[in-house]
Amino acid sequence: MRIMNSIFRYETLLLIRNKFLAVPFILNILCWGYVILSYEFQSVHYNERAAVFYDSYQWVLLLNLLFLGLFAVYMAGKDRENNFEHLVITYKVKNVEWILGKWLITQSFGLCITLITLIIQGIWFSSGSITFGEWLKNIIYLFIQMEGAFALLISLGFLFGILIRNMIAYVFIPVILAGVFYLHFEIQGYSYINPKLKLLTLYDSMFSNSPFNSIWGINAVFEGAIIHQVIVFLLGIVIVLVTLILYNPARSKRRDKKKIVVILMVISIPAVLLSGFRYIQYYVALEQYIQAGEYYLEDDAENSFYDSRQDQIKYDFSMERTNLNIQFPSENQIDVISSLMIKYNGDKPVQDVYLTLHHDLKVKECYSESGVTCSREKDALVVHFNNMIEPNEEIHLMLNYSGNMKQYHNDAFVQHSFIEANRIYLPKEAGWYPLIGKRHLAKSREHNNRYAQFELRNGRIVEDHPTEFIVEITNKEDRIPIALTIPRVESGLYKGTSKYGLSLIGGNFEKVMVDHTRVVGHPEVLEGARETVRKYQKGWKIAEEWLEVPMTPNVIYILDPVHSSLTENTPSQEFIVWDVNDLDQNDSIIPYKIVVDLTKGEAILGEYDDLFLLQKAMEWSLLNDMENETGFNKFKDWIVSHTGLEQTNLIDILNRYNEKGVKEFKQVVKFLFTQYSQLEEEKDFNMSAELQRYEGEKSK
């Protein structure tokens, strides 16, 4: 031990004298300085500090790994190259002392880089809206991510530096990092590569895009990262022990070799056990995701997968009132007592009512005074009444159900719904409460270029009628803030009428009112969200006065990009989910977004050409009303330039109205939109026929 300390001090002194080794520290400080100053100098923030930090951290970490890996190879072979090693082996210096002394100083160099990063992270995060518990969790997460990766790569560098006695040893480091880079950024939840390979990275990367998920922070990845990096650190120890065995074996005493072998075996056991546990942990999640894809696979999905409008089916029943008493007995478990008032809007007596409830939720009790029997058809719950249900009759139904709400998307890298101590997400698409009708909660189609052999999307779950909701949550609000798409009356009690339905979140968020819109999001983005909502409100008010339809939403959630994208197939005027990309955008995009919301989704050119043209006509009108510079005076020039469409007869007709004046153009577009919005099937919209009808009505 005394000799090892001497070696450590000697190598430390040499490092201090080497001015070039200050470069990594300077680069780290400069990189983080640029990231932080770029963020702090913004007058309005559209993203969280942690989101910005982790986006940059993934690149800075790779840069540090490259430097430390090359430095480890250098440390392992430098004394051999200058022949100092031949002098050392003539002294009473054991192999263990010689190698471990240099290995520890290299690890210490990596630790200094980690500490600088931790200090920067800790100071920056402390100025944001984060609790001490979350702050500490982020510090621990970053420390174990960096130190685990450094430990393993430095050990590999020593192994290569000792086994390979030429410059080829240095080549292995960028090759390894190239593999890590490829696995990390290629496997994001929709890759053709086996996603289990991501378990082989030097740091935990079992997530899609970023480990930080807005109001839920890093809670989704924290526990898995701890396990992963403990395994990585133990593997680093195993590799350095193997290096000790292979280094000049003739100089090692048999007793020393036996000690190393014993230690190697002792460390290998927990490494193997933890590796198995981590593999099974992800394997179970991936299997659940694959089972979900197979469960929702449909024969006709090839034609309807990318057009969620085809999911929507008219139903003769409406949910008039839904009362829910919710308990969360344990992690990811939900227990609900529901009271439903259902109205029959058909014209012929029937006996069966279809409801939709996720198939993992088991119905424990199904009761009505009229007498019912309940059965399952996948996600559908068939309620058979003993007596016929007459037109306009209202029926009362009680359902008591419970089950596991953990659901996955994107090769199980994204948790679609979850219930945990410090975070909750129950989107409407998870089917966690009874929906009227037989709905598509999700749909999948075969896809040969993906590992899972399918792609999965959420269904389009749009209601025809509003529902009066009363929701009581009995055992969760004392731990974390909870929000629903209906207003909160008091602690644990929510009441309101909504045509959208219910989406429940719990996490680190705050709420602000912008006029009559409630905005829910991470505290650090609310000011940016407030500014963006005000910009949209100008367009919403113009659209409401022009088209005489409601546009201003009641509630807006600000979530991370992945979870926000999973809600896109269920458009709603009352409820919107945004992410940072929706907040930080050019003003000229706002009219386009408003039009997409008005028409319940973006029209696909080639399938809905008439609707696409209507959307562009509405966008052109809003662009001018909101005083956005288009660079064109004529509608036809603008649309041809922006879409690449060839000039058609319909474009010429609309352009003639535009040349007659703003009022004339807005009148015809309003007429077309009104006719379109009255159609049951959006594909039935025929602009040519509607323009002829408009001309006929105008000439009367």
- Kindly report the backbone phi and psi dihedral angles of residue 548, in degrees, each rounded to the nearest multiple of 5, phi listed first: 60, 45
pLDDT band of 161, cuts 50, 70, 90: confident
pLDDT band of 332, cuts 50, 70, 90: very high
* CA quadruple 530, 532, 535, 540: dihedral, nearest 10: -90
Regarding predicted confidence, which is higher, 487 or 678?
487
Helix or strand or coil: residue 201? coil
Antiparallel, parallel or unpaired: β 333-344 and 317-327: antiparallel
Residue 624 clears pLDDT 90, i.e. is over it: no
For 570-599, the pLDDT digits (tens) are: 888 899 999 988 887 778 888 888 988 888
Q: What is the number of other CB atoms lying within 10 angstroms of the CB of residue 545?
A: 10
Closest CA to 562 of 334, 408, 687, 350: 408
Residue 89 clears pLDDT 70, i.e. is over it: no
Average pLDDT, the chain: 88
Regarding predicted confidence, which is higher, 601 or 664?
664
pLDDT band of 493, cuts 50, 70, 90: very high
Span of 150-159, 217-226, 451-460 with lowest mean pLDDT: 451-460
User: In the prediction, which pLDDT does 250 show?
Assistant: 58
User: In the prediction, which pLDDT does 699 show?
Assistant: 61
Residue 8 clears pLDDT 70, i.e. is over it: no
pLDDT (average), residues 552-560: 94
Regarding predicted confidence, which is higher, 187 or 644?
187
User: In the prediction, which pLDDT does 636 show?
Assistant: 84
User: In the prediction, which pLDDT does 642 show?
Assistant: 77
Residue 560 clears pLDDT 90, i.e. is over it: yes
CA distance 197 to 467: 46
pLDDT (average), residues 55-61: 94
Residue 581 identity: N
Residue 301 clears pLDDT 70, i.e. is over it: no
CA distance 79 to 65: 23
pLDDT (average), residues 590-616: 83
pLDDT band of 248, cuts 50, 70, 90: low
Regarding predicted confidence, which is higher, 136 or 185?
136
CA distance 153 to 232: 9
User: In the prediction, which pLDDT does 677 show?
Assistant: 86
Regarding predicted confidence, which is higher, 688 or 339?
339
Residue 165 clears pLDDT 90, i.e. is over it: no
Residue 411 clears pLDDT 90, i.e. is over it: yes
- The model carries a pTM of 0.89
Question: Judging by beta carbons within 10 Å of its beta carbon (0-12, 13-18, 19+), is residue 654 exposed, middle or buried?
Answer: buried
- HSE of 175, CA atoms in CB hemisphere, 13 A: 8
Q: Which two three-digit tokens encode residue 688? A: 């040519």
Residue 222 clears pLDDT 80, i.e. is over it: yes
Domains and CATH numbers, the chain: 1-192+213-271 (no CATH), 315-438+463-502 (2.60.40.1730), 509-583 (no CATH), 588-699 (no CATH)
Antiparallel, parallel or unpaired: β 361-367 and 510-514: unpaired
pLDDT (average), residues 137-155: 96
User: In the prediction, which pLDDT does 229 show?
Assistant: 97
pLDDT (average), residues 486-496: 92
User: In the prediction, which pLDDT does 40 show?
Assistant: 92
pLDDT (average), residues 138-144: 97
Residue 87 clears pLDDT 60, i.e. is over it: no
Kind plus residue range of the DSSP H or E element containing 420: strand 414-420
User: In the prediction, which pLDDT does 30 show?
Assistant: 95
Q: Is residue 542 within 8 Å of 534, Cβ to Cβ?
A: no
- Kindly report the backbone phi and psi dihedral angles of residue 514, in degrees, each rounded to the nearest multiple of 5, phi listed first: -115, 100
pLDDT (average), residues 239-249: 82
Residue 167 clears pLDDT 60, i.e. is over it: yes
- HSE of 425, CA atoms in CB hemisphere, 13 A: 29
pLDDT band of 231, cuts 50, 70, 90: very high
Closest CA to 78 of 98, 108, 107, 97: 98
CA distance 269 to 257: 19
User: In the prediction, which pLDDT does 545 show?
Assistant: 92
User: In the prediction, which pLDDT does 324 show?
Assistant: 96
pLDDT (average), residues 116-133: 93
To 10 degrees, what angle do helices 649-660 and 609-625 make?
20
pLDDT (average), residues 375-396: 92
User: In the prediction, which pLDDT does 447 show?
Assistant: 85
pLDDT (average), residues 383-408: 93
Span of 272-276, 320-324, 388-392 with lowest mean pLDDT: 388-392
Span of 224-228, 243-247, 485-489, 511-515 with lowest mean pLDDT: 243-247
pLDDT over 70, % of the chain: 92
